[in-house]
Chains A and B, each alone.
Chain A
Amino acid sequence: MVPRTGRPDEGVGAKGSGPEIRVGPVRGEGDIVPAGILDPAMGTTRPVYLDHAATTPMHPAAIEAMTVALATVGNASSLHTAGRAARRRLEEARENLAARLGARPSEVIVTAGGTESDNLAVKGIYWARRDADPHRRRIITTAVEHHAVLDAVTWLAEHEGAEVTFLPCAADGSVSPSDLRDALAAHDDVALVSVMWANNEVGTVMPVAELAAVASEFGVPMHSDAVQAVGQVAVDFAASGLSAMSLTAHKFGGPTGVGALLLRRDTGCVPLLHGGGQERDVRSGTLDVAGTVAMAVAADIAVGSQAEKASALRLLRDRLIDGVLGSIGDAHLNGAVGERRLPGNVHFTFRGCEGDSLLMLLDANGIECSTGSACTAGVAQPSHVLLAMGADPGTARGSLRLSLGHTSTAADVEAALRVLPSAVERARQAALASASAGPR
């Protein structure tokens, strides 16, 4: 049967004997022998989760802390005993989170996640800067940003009179401080700079501190989407020189639906959500005490063990990369290498492959990963990141992201390496067969 991808404790998946995919139906005179790829004969007895960049398994301690908090009552803005208890839990979580990220507690604005944090920073800082000086309407950013930044910037350009300057993007997906300096020197109307800390698709780590230093020379606030960075690389808000930084809990072992914008006290930001003004009057909404508590616990674990974890992940990552390059022809690693790549990110283009065929084959064999690019109605679009890095649209379709995280093991990497070569070969055959099946 097709191994259904379930959670490990469901005991689904394969009980097969051999580790190899039987590739290719054996064809006689029109005789079709069932092809082996959907067989569970892959040796993987549980799904191998290699999609930590999409979301991470929660740390058990974060689940426990969240569960305990959920069992209590109290609006953190209420003045009675229950309210004060909730407020105390929340403020302790805020302090712990701030401490782990090099921020002051007052700089932590709790949000509903990365997308809200990005929208709040990009729109809010743009509005504040423009309101202070109507001349300041320019946003300097990159073409490889997550859509939460990119689409917010595009919206401001279409509806709020923003001008946009995209920094030149290198083939590895990075941008350079000297290009930022040139852009800032060329324009005296810059409202803000927004450059992601690390790319969610190809894993390239940007030189954020150097970029922030340049922005600071020109007196322009800089925001960074650090959603992929927290827990994977060292992140210190104060040391970075940034004015604002987005993060979300579920990328480092916390729950979905909660995140934060770290925002310096001297950086003006017009609210997106109006109401009770709970978070510094910049963000309204009843505070998510349980989510924030869990986020702080997850940050404590993820950031606390970051250095050690990153070294281990780099070894696994490089084993996976070397294994793929050694066993699969015409495989191209996208993004930067070494220290300038996220420790958990592996991103390949396999020429001649349809990404969706590859995903199906890997899923059927217990390997859970992603094409890494945005979907529309479930259809993978050619990645805007790869296009910005110079790939052609056809090539951009055959890409695959395998992202490692805190639960990843050497066995996961070996399982992926057992399945990948045959899956790529078969996906290439399928692309050829489909393309050549033309009209009569």
Chain B
Amino acid sequence: MRVLAAMSGGVDSSVAAARMVAGGHEVVGVHLALSQTPGTLRSGSRGCCSREDAGDARRVADILEIPFYVWDFADRFKTDVIDDFVDSYARGETPNPCVRCNERIKFSALAARAVALGFDAVATGHYARLSGGRLRRAVDGDKDQSYVLGVLTAEQLRRAVFPIGDTPKAAIREEAAGLGLAVADKPDSHDICFIPSGDTRAFLGARIGVRSGAVVDADGAVLARHDGVHGFTIGQRKGLGIPGPGPDGRPRYVTGIDAGSGTVRVGGAADLDVWSLTGQRPVFTAGDAPVGPIECEVQVRAHGGVVPAVAELADGVLQVRLRKPLRGVAPGQTAVLYRPDPAGDEVLASATLAAG
């Protein structure tokens, strides 16, 4: 195959590219420049798109003896990921920008360009397994990234290759060292790549501005004022600006956000439990939607646990009944449905959680 290897400059995508080369494919390395101001996005171990990372990716490509280019997707990244992230928070939602980047940049704009230029597939360093059109969790459960890939359609997955999902991270690092790649011991990236400070609230505040509102309890009594709902997420306990625990002496959490009125509601832990989910824009990774109820496990955040559930598609909306409650679920989060399998839990579907 002619393979475009998306190379972030990290150890995972480097080994992914190396494995494609070793597999006899024709590989071209491409680093995506996603920052509007190259060289400024990242410091320390955060993020994925600094000038240094582009340089690291280039060195790996040199060693693998493959052509290497930097492609500028900064404009697309801004509109499709960053602006979406900000708008979503302004609506009182809790989005996952990595999900959007995979959905709209890596496996959409990038893949489309790659195919138009003559490539058969895009290979990335995601920890996930893909065979026979079935997307599964990675062997390394701690590193599994099937969740952030769960939004990909069958058509998108047909062009995707995840060469390292069958290997634990530690072994990937050893493999990189064995290949003489300097990135073998490079720290993992954390946090959101376009918020190098790690201060999401300040980042959002600078873009959304002050939209003050009230923090209220379950009875509607005003406990505090705030500068905007974007500073809150469902299940948040710290930084609420309220005097302390509730009348029962227990911690209070954000249990609801109404962006329209700017109201942030707080309550006890029990108020966070949800027993059902409504998922919009469902995607069935294997293609067609199954008929009838789907026995599954649901995951609602990148490194969250799963709960058993039954899902059913009705009028284009995924209704999910949970067999155990999930705690602190926010609109805008992505729910990913898995079918448990000893050979690797299979991703069945995903959907974006609606309010309520």
Contact = CB atoms under 8 A, between A and B. Distances in A.
B191 interface: no
B58 interface: yes
Nearest to B50: A377
A2 B28 contact: yes
A364 B26 CA distance: 11
B54 A430 contact: no
A431 B66 CA distance: 23
A436 interface: yes
Interface stretch (B31-39, B162-170, B271-279): B31-39
Contacts of A440: 103, 153, 281, 283
B221 interface: no
A364 B109 contact: no
Interface residues of B, number: 43
B34 to A, nearest CB: 10
B69 A378 contact: yes
Interface in B13-72: 26-28, 31, 33, 38-39, 50-51, 54-55, 58, 65-67, 69-72
What is the predominant secondary structure among interface residues of chain B facing chain A? mixed
B108 A438 contact: yes
Contact of A379 (B38, B116, B117): B38
B33 A434 contact: no
Contacts of A32: 115, 120
Contact of B118 (A376, A426, A434, A436): A426
A437 B108 contact: yes
Contact of A37 (B69, B113, B118): B118
Interface string B320-332: 0000000000000
A360 B117 contact: yes
A371 B117 CA distance: 18
A379 B104 contact: no
Interface in A205-221: none
B123 interface: no
Interface residues of A, number: 39
A102 B38 CA distance: 43
Contacts of A380: 72
Nearest to A361: B117
Nearest to B58: A378
Given A35-B118, A377-B38, A433 B112 contact: yes
Contacts of B58: 378
Interface in A295-321: none
Nearest to A364: B67
A426 B116 contact: yes
A359 B117 CA distance: 12
A429 B108 CA distance: 15
B70 A377 contact: yes
Interface in A2-43: 2, 4-5, 25, 30, 32, 34-38
B54 A377 contact: yes
A36 B71 CA distance: 21
A439 B39 contact: no
A359 B68 CA distance: 11
B120 A34 contact: yes
B173 interface: no
B69 A2 contact: no
A163 interface: no
Nearest to B104: A439
Contacts of B67: 2, 4-5, 360, 363-364
B33 A379 contact: yes
B54 A434 contact: no
A6 to B, nearest CB: 10
Nearest to B151: A440
Contacts of B237: none
Interface in A77-122: none
Interface in A366-403: 376-380
A35 B28 contact: no
Given A378-B31, A437-B112, A356 B117 contact: no
Given A377-B38, A378-B54, A434 B70 contact: no
Interface string B110-139: 111101111110000000000000000000
Contacts, number: 116
Given A379-B38, A426-B118, A433-B115, A360 B281 contact: no
Contact of B116 (A1, A364, A377, A434): A434
A75 interface: no
A357 interface: yes
Contacts of A364: 28, 67
A361 B4 CA distance: 13
A368 B27 CA distance: 19
A38 B2 contact: yes
Nearest to A431: B113
B349 to A, nearest CB: 14
Nearest to B72: A379
Contacts of A430: 112-113, 116-117
B2 A378 contact: no
Nearest to A436: B112
B109 A378 contact: no
Nearest to B1: A34
Nearest to A21: B118
B47 to A, nearest CB: 14
Contacts of A360: 28, 67, 69, 117
B71 A356 contact: yes
Nearest to A375: B70
A380 B108 CA distance: 22
B312 interface: no
A413 to B, nearest CB: 24
Contact of B39 (A34, A357, A376): A376
Contact of A356 (B54, B70, B118): B70
Contacts of A356: 69-72
A30 B55 CA distance: 37
Pairs A-B, 5 closest by C-beta atoms: A35-B118, A378-B70, A437-B112, A430-B116, A434-B113
Interface of A: 1-2, 4-5, 25, 30, 32, 34-38, 354, 356-357, 359-361, 363-364, 376-380, 426-427, 429-440
5 contacts: A360-B117, A378-B31, A378-B33, A426-B116, A437-B113
Given A37-B117, A38-B2, A437-B108, 20 more contacts: A2-B2, A2-B66, A4-B66, A32-B120, A38-B118, A357-B113, A359-B69, A360-B67, A360-B117, A377-B55, A377-B70, A378-B58, A379-B38, A379-B72, A435-B109, A436-B112, A437-B109, A437-B112, A438-B109, A439-B108
Interface of B: 1-2, 26-28, 31, 33, 38-39, 50-51, 54-55, 58, 65-67, 69-72, 74, 76, 80, 103-104, 108-113, 115-120, 153, 155, 158, 281, 283
